[in-house]
Amino acid sequence: MIHLVTGANRGIGLEFVRRLLALGHTVHATARDPARASVLAGLTPHVHALDVGDEGSIARLAAALREVDVVINNAGTIGDEASPLGEQTLAGLSAAFAINAAGPLLLTQALLPAIGRGKRKLVVHITSRMGSIGDNSSGGYYSYRMSKAALNMASKSLALDLAPKGIISVVMHPGWVKTDMGGAGATLTPEESVRGMLKVIDGIDAKSSGKFYNYNGAEIAY
Ligand SMILES: NC(=O)c1ccc[n+]([C@@H]2O[C@H](COP(=O)([O-])OP(=O)(O)OC[C@H]3O[C@@H](n4cnc5c(N)ncnc54)[C@H](OP(=O)(O)O)[C@@H]3O)[C@@H](O)[C@H]2O)c1
């Protein structure tokens, strides 16, 4: 199967590439700056430049991919995590929205012809439990929570709009993972998170479309 993983130069994205290659898949991987993605370049020859906040960059990637079975929209930012209420800005909120919500939707839209040519026709958006409105019991993290909630809504609409074409869209929470974003105190290693998510991905079919999954396969309330 042909996979595309965004934000693959470090963290969860890099681990997705490692595991997918070990399983024998073809992996196209993206980095904002491929010249600085030496670990990734040592894993797959298919490294592409992509800034998900740049429409020109999205168009160039889409033009380079004729067919893809599974798209993993993994690239993301924690946004203005330290900014409490009282210090929110349009610039900070917009930047997180562009990368976490608009970018994955625009990339999926641009890749529809390539996904349509694929056998699996699956788009997995890596969201966060922090984007669940039902699960929010601690507040804060405005730019991250709001942008991931918007991504969740995009996935749900994609699932509905693309069902006639047989294209599946889900959002998946990777758990709290030891990466630059998750920090050293997180509970899961990237290996544990990605192993769990790939098991869930294996079991996804048309009935799964529009759902919000945890890395262990449990469903999370929107
Ligand atoms: N770690 C956790 O505990 C946790 C929990 C819930 C959800 N998540 C989600 O899991 C995904 C991966 O997170 P991670 O922990 O691996 O984070 P990470 O270590 O901070 O890596 C983030 C990745 O996203 C890329 N990225 C950021 N902005 C981008 C942009 N504008 N265009 C393209 N790529 C961009 C980064 O590229 P650069 O190296 O160029 O910055 C990097 O490859 C994210 O969507 C995150 O929200 C993580």
The pLDDT of residue 216: 98
**pLDDT per residue over 105-117, tens digit each?**
999 999 999 999 9
Chain centroid to CA 93: 19
Nearest to 123 by CA among 150, 78, 156: 156
Write out the two tokens for 110: 């641009």
- pLDDT above 90: residue 71: yes
Span 91-116, average pLDDT: 98
- pLDDT above 90: residue 81: no
Domains of the chain with CATH codes:
2-214 (3.40.50.720)
The pLDDT of residue 83: 87
Residue 201 CB less than 6 A away from ligand 1: no
- Sign, CA dihedral 128-131-134-135, equals positive
Q: What residue owns the CA closest to ligand 1's atom 21?
A: 11
- pLDDT above 90: residue 89: yes
Ligand 1 test: best mutation among 123, 132, 179, most atoms within 8 Å of CB?
A: 179
Residue 79 CB less than 6 A away from ligand 1: no
- pLDDT above 90: residue 156: yes
- pLDDT above 90: residue 68: yes
Q: What residue owns the CA closest to ligand 1's atom 26?
A: 75
Quick one: pLDDT band at residue 82, thresholds 50, 70, 90?
A: confident
**Alpha-carbon span 219 to 222, nearest angstrom:** 9
How far, in Å, from the CA of 164 to the mean position of ligand 1?
31
**pLDDT per residue over 128-152, tens digit each?**
999 999 999 999 999 999 999 999 9
The pLDDT of residue 80: 85
For residue 57, the ligand 1 atom closest to its alpha carbon is 32
Ligand 1 test: best mutation among 5, 9, 10, most atoms within 8 Å of CB?
A: 10
How far, in Å, from the CA of 99 to the mean position of ligand 1?
10
Name the pTM for this structure: 0.98
- pLDDT above 90: residue 207: yes
**pLDDT per residue over 10-39, tens digit each?**
999 999 999 999 999 999 999 999 999 999
Angle between helices 11-22 and 190-202 (to 10 degrees): 60
- Percent of the chain at pLDDT exceeding 90: 98
SS (H, E, C) the chain: CEEEECCCCCHHHHHHHHHHHHCCCEEEEEECCHHHCHHHHCCCCCEEECCCCCHHHHHHHHHHCCCCCEEEECCCCCCCCCCCCCCCCHHHHHHHHHHHHHHHHHHHHHHHHHHHHCCCCEEEEECCHHHCCCCCCCCCCHHHHHHHHHHHHHHHHHHHHHHHHCCEEEEEECCCECCCCCCCCCCECHHHHHHHHHHHHHCCCHHHCCCEEECCCCECCC
